[in-house]
Structure 1
Amino acid sequence: MEEIVGTHAIKYPQEADKAVVLLVDDNEDILDFISDDLEEKYHVLQARNGVEALKVLEHEIVQLIISDVMMPEMDGFEFCAKIKSTLEFSHIPVILLTAKNSLQSKIEGLELGADVYVEKPFSPAFLQVQISSLIKNRNKIKEYFSSSPLLHIKSIAYSKADEVFLEKLQDTINKNISNQSLDVEHLAEKMNMSRPTLYRKIKSISNLSPNELINLARLKKAAAYLNEGLLKIYEISEIVGYSSQSHFGRNFAKQFGMSPTDYLHSKTAEKKKP
């Protein structure tokens, strides 16, 4: 699926689509070998070095990166450090592949933020397990965040940079939460980010579009108010930016599996327990 954001075409996978894996290696045979092994389960993109890979990331939303260490122009260590220090990409898990099997080499890769370090020669089955585990764990965290009314957005952070970004994003939404017209345009302006950059970051880190995330933030703020038990439901729906209580109720039930009234009753019952 592709969406035009500003002057850029942002590509991102739908739920039913394969996860996108970026494979970075200057060896054509290795690229083909790993791609052939992965393409049944994943959509595989290729790059010959770190510089080329960064250009790919400017236009593609990627769920995981597999990179060789020894490459021209920009090696795997430098590339990994760039990924983990760049806000737009810092959430993407990185698997480093290398023939270097020294402990110091492993430590260097992990210190630069690599999520997994795989030595060459490696078993394709072992690499498949590492990829699957990283992607599944990330998706579970995202799903748990979306379905848990009181879970803070920073629970989906994968780095300190992500945590700082998400806290600023949450604060920005909260300050403007009663504004019914709050959308990605307003959010990008208030976050001092370009719309394509903000869109790509939010979509990648949460599996949600900015507008979906704004709506989820409204519902989570409403859940917090309901948990406090001090305001009426119609008051809460207005405070968090809904035009009508019925619309708010439908969205709340769809997101969390119960109506605002039922949620309020459940929280009240919990507080009464000895």
Structure 2
Amino acid sequence: GTGVGLHLTAELAAVHKGKTEYTPSELGGACFSVSIPLSDENYTLEEIIETHALPDVSKTTDLISTDDSPEAVSSGKRYQDYKLLIIEDDDEVCEFVSQQLNESFSIVTAKDGTEGLKKAINEQLNLIVCDVMMPGIDGFEVTRRLKADFLTSHIPVILLTAHSSEEHQLEGIQAGADAYITKPFSIKYLMARIVKLIEQREKLQQKFAQEPGAAPIHLINFTDRDKTFLDKMHALIEQNMESVDFSVDTFAQIVGMGRTNFYKKVKGITGHSPNEYVRIIRLKKAAELLATTNLNISEVSYKIGFDDPFYFSKCFKAQFGKTPSAFQKGG
């Protein structure tokens, strides 16, 4: 189902001055009835906000409002290069959310936790939105497995659930979720959380790439294994800094990963392909050498694995906005 459950039903009934009652069923099991008064005499003037006709609440998609266009949240920016995975067992909800988010993102869907875990490994994902209450593997367990698997541990996860209690939110956080949204929710709010998580990572990745010097990249909500992996990458680049022939294939072999998985992992953590990231680290090292040594431009170029000083100067300016000579002079 949608995961709304009896608890949310009782809360909604209470908000509308109604009540939820239980009686044993003659056929076995339980019978629950909900009664809501129709007259506005049951409400104070302060409680009556709008007087227009109520919407049809017969569909599960009414758990989701479309109060604003999703694109309005991102100030017109589109994220079609970003791929999201929606894991939701309710076909109607899954289709509705996917259609709304598809205006801004590339969307992949999975009907349960098992399929979702497989797609998380096979696809190059930027974020996962997962329902909590699903048959088989629930959203909490999906999140725990994603964060425990080195190939998927870096992917942000947003959990959707009808449980609003502090206990359930704590369980989601402990499982490793990056955000926890309770139903009913608006597409605008979901979009805002997605955009914020993506932009937070982008800003840190860009800050690291565009600032000269050897300061380490700061990561948001990455696991210890991700940080260890990145530290190992930096150590290997440092050891092979002067080697023009040091390739991504060699790099992947040293860390014991296949080329495809290695590419996806580096891209997921840093926002750059392995080749781009190696070049950034080398250029940052060049900035450090230019600022702390008396080496000339050509000598610095060779020290960081560039065999063409002219090409090095071109890359350096593209990365930091000034030529190596201007940087060395402090201008």
TM-score range, shorter chain: 0.7 to 0.9
User: Match of 1:89?
Assistant: 152
Alpha-carbon shift at residue 16 of structure 1 (Å): 7.3
Alignment pair present for 1:132 and 2:195: yes
User: Match of 1:158?
Assistant: 221
Out of 16, 20, 28, the residue aligned to residue 83 of structure 2 is 20
Alpha-carbon shift at residue 57 of structure 1 (Å): 2.1
CA distance in 2, matches of 1:151, 1:101: 44
Calculate percent identity across the aligned residue pairs. 35
Instruction: Please list every run of 5 or more consecutive structure 2 residues that lacks an aligned counterpart in the other structure.
Output: 1-77
TM-score, structure 1 normalization: 0.87
What pairs up with 1:229-248 in 2 under 5 angstroms? 229-248=293-312
1:192 is matched by which residue type in structure 2?
G
User: Match of 2:292?
Assistant: 228
User: Match of 1:45?
Assistant: 108
User: Match of 1:10?
Assistant: none
Instruction: Please list every run of 5 or more consecutive structure 1 residues that lacks an aligned counterpart in the other structure.
Output: 1-14, 270-274
Superposed CA RMSD: 1.7
Which has the larger helix fraction? Answer: 1
Alignment pair present for 1:72 and 2:135: yes
Alignment pair present for 1:99 and 2:162: yes
User: Match of 2:99?
Assistant: 36
Out of 255, 266, 269, the residue aligned to residue 319 of structure 2 is 255
Alpha-carbon shift at residue 232 of structure 1 (Å): 2.5
CA distance in 2, matches of 1:152, 1:72: 46
**1:138/1:264 Cα in 2 relative to 1: closer, same or farther (>3 Å)?**
same
User: Match of 1:216?
Assistant: 280
1:74-109 CA distance string (max 9 Å, x none): 211111111122222222111000111211110010
Q: Max radius of gyration: which structure?
A: 2
Does the aligned pair in 1 maintain the 2:85–2:110 contact within 8 Å? yes
Alpha-carbon shift at residue 151 of structure 1 (Å): 5.1
User: Match of 2:231?
Assistant: 167
CA distance in 1, matches of 2:277, 2:314: 17
1:25-77 CA distance string (max 9 Å, x none): 11111101211211101111101122211211222111111001111232111
Does the aligned pair in 1 maintain the 2:201–2:220 contact within 8 Å? no
TM-score, structure 2 normalization: 0.73
- Say how many residue pairs are matched: 253
2:301 is matched by which residue type in structure 1?
S
